[in-house]
A = this chain, B = another copy of it.
């Protein structure tokens, strides 16, 4: 059923039908009602492809994230969808599985699909990412990444300070041997700021970082467990505290420690980062760095909307702040 059929049934021209649908005020009342009658009866659904081809607006936003099974990403996506749907946009969702090449592939798909904008959570910016940003006139927002070119607005997490703050908290509790379980194998960008925050805190307290206490891996519980094991079995004095780059790693670390007959926090303090919702529910409740991931998605979407409505305006960045949550998995070091 196409518009021409409707036109014929209503005894008007195709153009009139189009007007009734899009600008009814331009059409006389009696024709409007006659056409609307037919529209209702037939249950006509316009082919948006055709419309979008000429209006050059798809109301489609491409979104690339590393994964969606991870709470934090999922939360963020919820924030994005909420705002975008509210504004009449739809989501074309893609997961890069942490491969920068995949991200680029999807950028290309998005471009061909004529999306109105893109929100990307890139694993790693390649040179080709940058040329894409520079060449494409597409409104774009980066999450957790700063565009070196300065032309793309971003939503950033204050991971450096969040981590530094938490590690300083551990140091203030008297801990000196603090392990760092990182996710650099998986996502350099996410890891870097946290790692630097960790090092900055140690340095401020005059503590020399020890390689054996620092690991790199992915987001999996398995890695968290193995990482804790590796650190625990390394030669030298056992750490008295652990900072894990994500809550999931922290939970896995706690599991390992418990299995070693080591209680948390009495023997070892463990802190995470993310504050996933069950962090406060489990036992011991997890000391962690809280971020409002849902809100970060909202911010990203709003930044994009702004960019689409006022392309000439200078790109702004949004920094998502943190809150240190002191809970049950940390305590002062034993004398």
Spell out A's residues near B (CB within 8 Å).
43, 45-50, 52-53, 58, 60, 67-71, 74-75, 77-78, 81, 85, 90-95, 108-109, 111-114, 135, 221, 248, 251-252, 254-255, 258, 277-278, 281-283, 294
Known: A90-B94, A252-B281, A255-B281. 12 other contacts (CB 8 A): A47-B112, A67-B78, A74-B74, A81-B95, A85-B94, A90-B92, A90-B113, A92-B92, A93-B93, A251-B281, A255-B282, A255-B283
> Taking each of A93, A109, A111, A254, which has the highest tally of chain B beta carbons within 10 Å of its own beta carbon?
A93
How many identical chains are in the complex? 2
Which B residues touch A68, using CB under 8 A? Answer: 68, 74, 77-78, 81
Which B residues touch A281, using CB under 8 A? Answer: 221, 251-252, 254-255
> Does more than half of chain A's interface fall in helix, strand or loop, or is it mixed?
helix
Give the CA-CA distance A52 to B108 in the complex, in Å: 16
Which B residues touch A53, using CB under 8 A? Answer: 47, 49-50, 53
Out of B47, B94, B248, B255, name the residue touching A81 (CB < 8 Å).
B94
Ranked nearest first, the 5 interchain pairs of A and B with the lowest CB-CB distance are A93-B93, A48-B112, A74-B74, A49-B53, A282-B282
Give the CA-CA distance A258 to B46 in the complex, in Å: 57
Out of B47, B49, B112, name the residue touching A46 (CB < 8 Å).
B112
Which B residues touch A78, using CB under 8 A? Answer: 67-69, 95
